[in-house]
Amino acid sequence: MNHTLRHPRRQFLKLAPASLLLGGAAATLHAPAARAQAFPAKPVTLIVPYPAGGATDVQMRSLALATSKRLGQPIVIVNQPGVGGTLGPATMARTAAPDGYTISVINAALFRLPHIQRVSYNALTDFTFIMGLNSYVYGVSVAADSRWKRVQDLIAYARANPGKLSIASVGNGTSGHIATERLARMAGIKVNFVPFKGGADALVALIGGHVDAMIEAGWGAMAESGKVRLLAVALNERLKRWPQVPTLKELGYDIAIQSEVGLAGPKGMPPAVVQALHDAFKASLSDPGYQQALQAESMPNVYLSTAEYRQYAQTQFASDKRFVEKLGIRLAD
């Protein structure tokens, strides 16, 4: 007699243990989720809003190399300078998908510029803030062969020659620009402010004698090599690496700058993707190559969590609004 089963699948479904069936269903349900969580599945683009070769570019390339090893995917650096370091982030916010594959370095000018001129972004709602990385150290520097040995010498020259002292920095509305304006007002002098797209460009102009002084970050490597002379730092205390260099406060000018550098993506990024990027970058902050790049500029490793960096953005935006209104600075749209 032929006992061949005509419906083996139906018989299997009837006889199979419930746990086996449920386990298979669960695996089927979780497969798409597992695939969706596999971030990153391709290279990540990191926008550096300054020209190649500058201090920030060097630091971010070191950090990106270390982080790519943890993510298991390359991090591709794209330099997009302009508008005081805000062009790159603004373009990202307007055009990039919120999937974590395009993120940008963020500087403090992003929160200040909306109070000074018309911008294409909302500093608080158009970005997904990921974390804080470090803080720029601003200083007053001149070329090594400059006739000026002290900040007092610069001030004396500017008083005797109104409008002739040229001071370089990165863009309008940046921390360097604001510091220049504050110093000029406190000292009662008139200077010629010269904006550049990046610190590397400003340094080339300074060393080449095209500008008289620079109030900016990114001076460390050039000061170390003896190509520029650091006259003062815009900090509350002197730097351990440069103990002979006074603070502007010591010289009677109450100017101390905290300018956080962080990472952000477009608004609407999934929390799991933000967490993955945060964790990978945070774990790379101790990388020797990155630490060496920071130490070359005497920059502190100022880590801020996602929540802390989001709070920093809100606080910085509000304080910059009050500060700009007090100074009465407004740029042409």
- Tell me 96's DSSP state: S
Alpha-carbon Rg for the chain in angstroms: 26
Q: What is the pLDDT of residues 146-194, one digit of tens each?
A: 999 999 999 999 999 999 999 999 988 889 999 999 999 999 999 999 9
Cross-strand pairs, 179:
none
Note whether 54 and 195 are same-domain residues.
Answer: no
pLDDT at 332: 60
Q: Examine residue 89 and say whether the peptide bond preceding it is cis (omega within 30 degrees of 0).
A: no
**DSSP 3-state assignment of 300?**
coil
Cβ atoms of residues 152 and 228 within 8 Å: no
CA distance 241 to 122: 38
Residue with tokens 């790519």: 68
- Judge contact between 81 and 304, C-beta under 8 A: no
Domain containing residue 289 = 44-135+259-327
- How high is the pLDDT of residue 113? 93
Angle between helices 306-327 and 175-187 (to 10 degrees): 40
Q: Which of 201-210, 223-232, 296-305, 307-316 has the lowest mean pLDDT?
A: 296-305
Q: What is the pLDDT of residues 1-46, one digit of tens each?
A: 444 444 444 443 444 444 444 444 444 444 444 445 589 999 999 9
Among 1-5, 107-111, 226-230, 309-313, which stretch is predicted with the lowest mean pLDDT?
A: 1-5
Q: Is there a contact between 296 and 88 (Cβ–Cβ < 8 Å)?
A: no
User: What's the pLDDT score for residue 119?
Assistant: 94
Does residue 20 lie in a domain region?
Answer: no
- Residue 167 Ramachandran class (φ > 0 left, ψ -120 to 50 alpha, else beta): beta
Q: Is residue 172 part of a domain?
A: yes
- 3-class SS of residue 173: coil
Residue 37, pLDDT score: 58
CATH number of the domain at 151, please.
Answer: 3.40.190.10
pTM as predicted: 0.81
Question: Does some domain include residue 238?
Answer: no
CA distances from 89 to 25, 124, 273 (A): 44, 12, 18
Give the C-alpha separation, 224 to 275, whole Å. 37
Residue 157 falls inside a structural domain: yes
**What is the reported pLDDT for 333?**
56
Tokens matching residue 286? 């101790």
Question: Is residue 284 classed exposed, middle or buried when 0-12, 13-18 and 19+ CB atoms within 10 A define those classes?
Answer: buried
Cβ neighbours, 10 Å, residue 325: 11
Residue at 247 is within a domain: no
Same domain, residue pair 174 and 319 = no
**279 & 130 share domain:** yes
Residues 111 and 158 in one domain: no
Sign (positive or negative) of CA dihedral 148, 152, 156, 162: positive
Q: Strand 139-143's sheet: what is its strand order?
A: 192-196, 166-170, 213-216, 139-143, 228-233
Q: What is the pLDDT of residue 294?
A: 93
C-alpha–C-alpha distance, residues 85 and 198, integer Å? 8
User: How many residues in the chain?
Assistant: 333
Phi/psi at 263 (5° precision):
-125, 145
- Does 123 share its domain with 145? no
Q: What is the DSSP string of 180-207?
A: HHHHHHHHT---EEEEESSHHHHHHHHH
Residue 298: pLDDT over 70: yes
Distance (Å, whole) CA 196 – CA 202: 6
- pLDDT for residue 238: 96
Provide the CATH number for the domain around residue 287.
Answer: 3.40.190.150
What is the helix (H) or strand (E) element at residue 92, kind and residue range? helix 87-95
- Whether 92 shows a pLDDT value over 50: the answer reads yes
Return the pLDDT at 161: 97
- One domain for residues 130 and 174: no
Instruction: Give the model's pLDDT for residue 199.
Output: 86
124/73 same-domain check = yes
Assess whether 53 and 197 both reside in one domain. no
Residues 122 and 155 in one domain: no
Examine the pLDDT at 313 and tell me if it is beyond 90: yes
Report yes or no on 251 lying in a domain. Answer: no
Domain count, the chain: 2
Decide which of 169, 198, 233 is a domain's last residue: 233
Last residue of a domain, one of 233, 267, 285: 233
Identify whether 299 is part of a domain: yes
| 126 lies in the same domain as 273 | yes
Residues 6+ apart with CB under 8 A from 9: none
125 and 52 within one domain: yes
In a domain, 178, yes or no: yes
Q: Do 124 and 164 share a domain, yes or no? A: no
d(CA 150, CA 168): 17
